[in-house]
Amino acid sequence: MNNTDEEIFCLCFRCDKPIKVGDKVHSICYSYEKIESSVFIAPIYAEGLGTWCSDCFTEIVKKEKGELSIESLLPLINKDT
């Protein structure tokens, strides 16, 4: 039986620290949806664009002086391209 507390989900996009199952993280996702009604949105496609540990995300927000924007995160999202 696997111990989910030790299972790595992904690495932080900034510091590469392992993010384990059960950790709390900050993430940005892209989704494509169909509005079915005023109370129901049906997901068609979703993709995670970035995940950060709390320490790194706090530093990113401080650096941006609380004015976090997608432009400030793009270099961290596209770090391998």
- C-alpha Rg value of the chain to the nearest Å: 15
Give residue 81's pLDDT.
Answer: 44
Give residue 40's pLDDT.
Answer: 96
| Distance from C-alpha of 60 to C-alpha of 76, rounded to nearest angstrom | 10
Q: Where are the domains of the chain?
A: 4-77
Give residue 34's pLDDT.
Answer: 97
Give residue 33's pLDDT.
Answer: 96
Tens-digit pLDDT string for the chain (81 aa): 456 668 999 999 999 999 999 999 999 888 999 999 999 999 999 998 889 999 998 888 888 777 777 777 777 776 654
Structure tokens at 67: 């004015």
CB 60 within 8 A of CB 73: yes
Structure tokens at 46: 């979703």
